[in-house]
Amino acid sequence: MLSTAQLEKIDLLSDTLLYDQAVSFIQRLVRVEHCNPLPTSQVTGLLNIAESFRYDELYRFVTHQRDRNWPPSKSDIKTFYSALEQVLSTMMRKSLREEFHLLTERPGASASEMRQEADALMARLAREFIQHLVAENGLIAAKMEDERRQQRMNRR
Amino acid sequence: MNLEMKIIREVSDQAENFYEDAVGLGDHAADALKAQHRSQMTELENIADSALKSSDIFDYIKKQSARFHYWRQAFAGHSDARIGFGERLKTYLEKDMTKKLAAICERLDIGDSSDEDKQKRRRIYLMLIRQFIHQMVAEYEYQTSPASIARKREA
């Protein structure tokens, strides 16, 4: 459904923009908002749904996780999904047309066709963003674990 | 000379320039991964050769660094003995290599405004990364070969 030009543009955006945005996204949550990295169980679920290329399903999953009644010990998960929902919403509402220039009005295209195209584009963009943030999340989690181990050793 | 040939020549020239850096990282890889984790280097080469995006290579390095402690192992032979192998490789490819890319693009008059130029830059960047990883893995193979290990034992 997407054209070769659109797919090439998504690859370009992934390398030049989404990668840095995803790294900053997760680093801000951990370093500025002092959240824990996303736990492995959440990472697996999020990646699986992102890999399915169904944007409606992905968005539903993200809002469902955001709106769940998490216990205080897991409030970081709610913070993560709230921030992710904002990124996805901005991408869908604004960036897709105005910044990425991936979606342009075509004469004769119905609203439903445009919506389908937007969903297909968002599924790809969101997958790229999520893959990058998950890689950074894992690295941060491993480094934090190394630091904790080192601190335990120093105390002995 | 057409642009394609100029790009190949420039990438080849840069590969000569960063050879010593690749050797340094190959030595780090040999110290951290040993011969026992050779498949990790083979897989890294495969990923680099098949990736369509540099960010896929960086994600792979991060994932392996998160999964395996030896990817996070520092190397006494490096000036900063606190940096793990994966972190050092990622930083080199993300920072140092982009300077080499910028130098090539400047010489070849490739800008960074139009999508067409950005795509050319991405392709050259991938070519540089591939060259670097091949050189690094060659050094790793050399340092972890039975003959090299025997030589080190004798020394």
Query: Domain ranges in chain A?
Result: 4-155
Predicted confidence at residue B76, as pLDDT, reads 83
Q: For residue B36, with 0-12 CB atoms within 10 Å meaning exposed, 13-18 middle and 19 or more buried, which class applies?
A: exposed
What tens digit of pLDDT does each residue of A38-55 get? Answer: 999 999 999 999 999 999
Alpha carbons A135 and B66: distance in angstroms, whole number? 8
Q: Which of B20-24, B126-130, B145-149 is least confident? A: B145-149
Which residues from A are below 8 Å from B60, CB to CB?
A: 135
Which residues from A are below 8 Å from B54, CB to CB?
A: 15
Q: Is the pLDDT of residue A104 over 90?
A: no
Cβ of A131 and B59 within 8 Å?
A: yes
Cβ of A11 and B115 within 8 Å?
A: no
Q: CA-CA-CA-CA torsion for A72, A74, A76, A82, nearest 10 degrees?
A: -90
Alpha carbons B5 and B10: distance in angstroms, whole number? 9
| ipTM for this model | 0.93
Residues in chain A: 156
**Residue B66 carries which side chain, given as an amino acid letter?**
A
* Number of domains comprising chain B: 1
Q: Mean pLDDT, chain B, as a whole number?
A: 94
Chain B CA closest to residue A129: B55
Q: Give the pair of three-digit tokens for residue B102.
A: 């910028």
**Residue A103 carries which side chain, given as an amino acid letter?**
L
Which pTM was predicted? 0.94
Cβ of B72 and A142 within 8 Å?
A: yes
What SS3 state is found at A156?
A: coil
What tens digit of pLDDT does each residue of B32-91 get? Answer: 999 999 999 999 999 999 999 999 999 999 999 999 999 999 998 777 778 999 999 999
